Amino acid sequence: MSDLPKPEDFAPKTYRPGSTDWMDVPAEIRKGIACYAGNPKSLEAVGLPNPRTWSCFDEDWQLPENWQQIIHEGFKERLEKFRSFKVFMDICVRCGACADKCHFFIGTGDPKNMPVLRAELIRSVYRNDFTKVGKILGRLGGARPMTIDVLKEWWSYLFQCTECRRCSVFCPYGIDTAEITMMGRELLNLLGLNIDWIATPVANCNRTGNHLGIQPHAFKDMLDFFVDDIEEITGIHVDPQYNKVGADILFITPSGDVFADPGTYTCMGYLLLFHFLKEKYGLDVTWSTYASEGGNFGSFTSHEMMKRLNAKMYREAQRLGVKWIIGGECGHMWRVITQYMDTMNGPADFMETPVNPITGTRFEHAKSTKMIHITEFTADLIKHGKLDLDPGRNDNLRVTFHDSCNPSRGMGLLEEPRYVIKNVCNEFYDMPANTIREQTFCCGSGSGLNAGEDMELRMAGGMPRANAVKYVHEKHDVNTLATICAIDRAALPDLMSYWVPEVEVYGVHEMVGNALIMPNEQERTTDLRGEPLPGMEEADE
Amino acid sequence: MPTVEFGGKSFTVDEDGFIDDYTNWNQEWVQYVKKEEGIDELNDEHQKVITVLREYYEKNGIAPMVRVLSKVTGFKLKHIYELFPSGPGKGACKMAGLPKPTGCV
C-alpha cells in the first residue's frame, strides 16, 4: 500500500460540488481507483461478448463498431424485461436523500458518487433514448446522448459502487440504486467491459464450481489441512463428509473460507460445529467439492450469469438428494438467494422446508429457497441449549460486529449473528446506531471491487466503516471486528491495518469454534489461530 | 499485454507483473523478479519456497494457502516476508511463476 495517501490526508477537502455542470465534467479514470480489465480468456470461457486485451487507461477501449446500437438495444430489452428498472428510471425526483449516505461519496467527495447522480449517469441516456421529454427538450430536460465519454463515465462510476444498498434505505421511493448499478454493469458487459476481479472468478466458478478455481482433490486437501490443525489443537479428529448421496443437509460456503486467512479459521469453526453435532445428535451434513462456492460473482456481471452460477448449488442438492441446505458466512450469496432465487432457479420443490432436526425449529421463511444461513442455525441451537460453550476462551477478544451489507439489507439478518456472538464471547460492543444493522456501512470492497489495484478507492470507501470501528476501539477498547462475509474477511484486514491497526478481523464461527467444548477434547492451550488462550500465555513460553 | 526483457529472454506479463503462463517460467524469470523485489541474494530458503509453490501448483492448479506454505516449508509468515518483501502472493508466487488468485481473497 506504499502508493496510498496517508490516512490523515485522506478526507475530501470539500463536499461542495464544483460550479461546472456535471455533464461537462469528464470521468477521471486513474490508477488507485480503477480495476484492471477482464482477462479475455475468462470472458471467452463463459461466452461473454468482445473478449480482447484492453486497458481502461488506454484511449481506445477496442469496442465493436456498433457499440452504441448494442447499448441502446440492450437498454430497451432490459426496460421491457425488468419492470423495476423502468420504474427506477422514471420515479426519482432527485430529492437528494441518498446523496450523503454513500460510503464512496463520504470517502471521495466526488459528486458522481452520490447515488442520485450515479443513477443520473444512466437516467440521462434513458431520457434521451426512451422518453418524449428527453427527445424534445434534450439537455434542458436532463437528457444526453450516449457518447464514448459517457460510456467511460458509466464504467468508472459503476465500478465505484459496491451495490451495498445503503442509499436505498433512505430513498423515500424505495429505489434500489444497487439494481441500477447491476443493470448498468450488465449493459457494459455487452461490450466486454468487465473487470478481471469479477470476470476471472466467474470463469473459475463455471469451470470448477468456485471462484478460486479449486479442483475437487485440492478442495479436499485444504479441508484435510484444517482437520490436522484441529486435531493438534483439540485432540479431536473431525471427519467431514464429501459429496455424500442421501445426506440430510448440504453445506455450502464461500471458497474464500477454505483458502484465505482469516476465513480459514472460520472454516475450522464450521468443521468443529458439524462434528460436535454429528457426535452428539447424529446430524448428517455433507460438503460438496462441486458446489464449492456460496458467493456468486455472476451477480456482479449479469442476471443470466448469476442464474447460471446459482444453479449449481441446487443441481448438487438435487443430485445428492439432501433435504435442505445450510449456507455459510457469505455476503452477496444471501442477496441472490433471498431476492432472486425464488423466480430465477426456484422454487426448489424437490427439497423440504428446512427443519432443524435437533431442535424441531421450522425455518418457514426459507420454504421456497430451502436454504438457511448458518448463524440462524447456530443461534437456534444455542437458544435451545444444544451447544456446550465456554465463552471464556474468547476473553482476549473485545468484539464489535460489522453487519455485512447483503445479509442485513438483503435478507434482514440482524439479530442472529449478535445472539451467537454474545453467547460465545463475554465482551461485545455495538458500533453507533447509524452505522450498523440496516444502516450498516459497507466494507468498501464489495461487488467484486476487492482487488489490489484499486486500494485507494477501497480505503476511501471503507473510511466510514473504519471510523465507526475506531470509535468503539477508542471508547471500549474493542480489538476484534467480527463479520459474516468472506469478502469482508478478505477486505477488512486491509482496511483495519490502514485505519485502525489495533483491530483484527474474525468470522463469527471462528469464535464459535473457540468456545465450543467438544466431547472428549483435550485441554486446549491455544485458539484456532494457534495463539495462547487467555490465561495460557505462560504455558506457551 | 506488456512484455519485459531480462537476461536475453522475453516474458509477457499482466498488469501486476505476473508471468502470463506458468509454463513460460525459467531461471531468468527468477532472476528478474529477484531484482524487482530488491532481494540481495537468493538462498536455499528462497529456493525451498519456490519449489514448494511450484510442486503444489502442478498438483492442484492453484497456489497453496498461506498456512500450507508456512507449514510445508517450516517458515513462519513473518519469515516469508523477510525472504520476499512483497509477501507470499505478490513476491513468492510471482517469482515461482504462479498466477495471482482472485475472488473473496
- Catalogue all structural domains in chain B, each as residue range(s) with its CATH number: 3-96 (1.10.10.370)
Residue A419 maps to a domain: yes
Report the chain B residue with the minimal C-alpha distance to residue A53: B1
> Strands across the sheet with A480-483, in order?
A399-402, A480-483, A504-507
Indicate the range of A16-20, A148-152, B79-83 predicted with least confidence: A16-20
One of B38, B40, B41, B104 is an active-site residue; which one? B104
Using alpha carbons only, give the angle A381, A528, A279 rounded to the nearest 5 degrees: 40
Q: Quick one: cell of A208?
A: 470448477
A55 and A160, same structural domain? yes
What pTM was computed for the model? 0.96
Contact call for B1 and A53, based on CB within 8 A: yes
Of B60, B66, B102, the CB nearest to A200: B102
Distance, in Å, from the CA atom of A294 to the CA atom of A333, rounded to the nearest integer, reads 6
E strands, A144-281, are 241-242, 249-252
* Chain A residue with minimum CA distance to B90: A452
Q: Do A212 and B102 touch (CB under 8 A)?
A: yes
Catalytic residue flag (residue B93): no
Which residues of chain B have a CB within 8 Å of the CB of A490?
104-105
A-B contacts at Cβ under 8 angstroms: 78
Determine, yes or no, domain membership for A40. Answer: no
Cell triple for residue A341? 432465487
Average pLDDT, chain A: 96
Q: Helical H runs in A285-389?
A: 303-320, 333-335, 342-344, 374-383
Q: What is the pLDDT of residue A1?
A: 47
Cell triple for A162? 459496491
Same domain, A216 and A251: yes
Q: What is the pLDDT of residue A132?
A: 96
| Residue A133: inside a domain | yes
Instruction: Give the distance from residue A360's alpha carbon to the nearest chain B alpha carbon, in angstroms.
Output: 34
Is the domain of A410 the same as that of A474?
Answer: yes
Residues A189, A210 within the same domain: no
Query: Which site among B15, B52, B65, B102 would you substitute to test the A interface, given the most A Cβ atoms closer than 10 Å to its Cβ?
Result: B102
List the beta bridge partners of residue A399.
A428, A480
pLDDT tens figures, A404-435: 999 999 999 999 999 999 999 999 999 999 99
Query: Does a structural domain hold residue A509?
Result: yes
pLDDT digits (tens, 9 = 90+) for B32-62: 999 999 999 999 999 999 999 999 999 999 9
Q: How far is A133 from chain B (nearest CA, A)?
A: 43
**Residue that finishes a domain, picked among A193, A220, A253:** A193
Note the pLDDT of residue A441.
98
**Domain-ending residue, one of A172, A193, A214:** A193
Which chain B residues have a beta carbon less than 8 Å from that of A53? Answer: 1
Domain co-membership, A338 together with A394: yes
DSSP state of B100: P
pLDDT digits (tens, 9 = 90+) for A234-250: 999 999 999 999 999 99
- The answer on pLDDT for A11 being more than 90 is no
**Which residues from chain B sit within 8 angstroms of residue A223, using beta carbons?**
none
A428: containing domain: 202-529
Give the pLDDT confidence of A168-204 residue by residue, as tens digits. 999 999 999 999 999 999 999 999 999 999 999 999 9
Answer yes or no: do A322 and A350 share one domain. yes
CB proximity under 8 Å: B 22-81 to A = 59-62, 65-68, 71
Helical residues (DSSP H) of A412-462, grouped into ranges: 415-424, 455-461
- Please write the tens of the pLDDT for every residue from A490-521: 999 999 999 999 999 999 999 999 999 999 99
Confidence of residue A4 (pLDDT cuts 50, 70, 90): confident
Percent of chain A, pLDDT > 70? 99
CA A490 to chain B, closest CA, distance in angstroms equals 5
Q: Is residue A228's pLDDT more than 50?
A: yes
Query: Chain B contacts of A203, Cβ < 8 Å?
Result: none
So what's the pLDDT on residue A2? 52
Which chain B residues are Cβ-neighbours of A450 within 8 angstroms? 104
Q: Do B65 and A222 touch (CB under 8 A)?
A: yes
Report whether pLDDT(A538) > 80. Answer: no
A252 touches A328 (CB < 8 A): yes
State how far the Cα of A98 lies from the Cα of A173, in Å rounded to an integer. Answer: 11
Average pLDDT over residues A79-83: 97
* Domain assignment of residue A540, yes or no: no
Report how far residue A170's alpha carbon sits from residue A102's, in angstroms, rounded to the nearest whole number.
10
Kindly state whether residues A293 and A183 are assigned to the same domain: no
Domain total for chain A?
A: 2
Interfacial B residues in 75-104 facing A (CB < 8 Å)? 90, 101-104
A414-421: Cβ within 8 A, 24+ apart: A414/A438, A415/A379, A416/A373, A416/A375, A416/A376, A416/A378, A416/A379, A417/A375, A417/A379, A417/A482, A417/A484, A417/A508, A419/A379, A419/A382, A419/A383, A420/A375, A420/A378, A420/A379, A420/A382, A420/A508, A420/A512, A421/A482, A421/A508, A421/A511
pLDDT at A329 over 70: yes
Examine the fold and report which residue of A140, A171, A193 is the final residue of a domain before the chain moves on.
A193
Which residues of chain B make contact with A39, given a CB cutoff of 8 A? 14
CATH code (residue A104): 1.10.1060
**A535: in domain:** no
Residue in A184, A137, A151, A150 with CA at minimum distance from that of residue A25: A150
- Whether A50 shows a pLDDT value over 70: the answer reads yes
Segment B69-75 shows an average pLDDT of 94
Decide if pLDDT at B104 tops 70.
no
* Same-domain pairing of A287 and A183: no
Establish if A38 belongs to a structural domain. no
Query: Does A36 fall in a domain?
Result: no
- The kind and range of the H/E element at A425 are none
